[in-house]
Amino acid sequence: MEMEIKRETTKYNWFSMFWEGFTSMSRMSKTLWIVAIVKLIIMFFILKPFFFPNLLDTNYENEADKAEHVRTELFRKALANE
Residues that bind another protein (CB under 8 A): 13, 16-18, 20-22, 28-29, 31-33, 35-36, 39-40, 42-43, 47-48, 51-57, 63, 66-68, 70-71, 73-75, 77-78, 80-82
How many Cα atoms sit within 13 Å of 82 on the Cβ side? 5
> Contact, 42 vs 51, CB < 8 A?
no
Q: How many residues does the chain have?
A: 82
Least CB distance to another protein at residue 9 (A): 12
Residue (4 or 57) nearer to another protein, CB: 57
Shortest CB 2 distance to another protein, Å: 19
State the Rg of the chain over Cα. 26
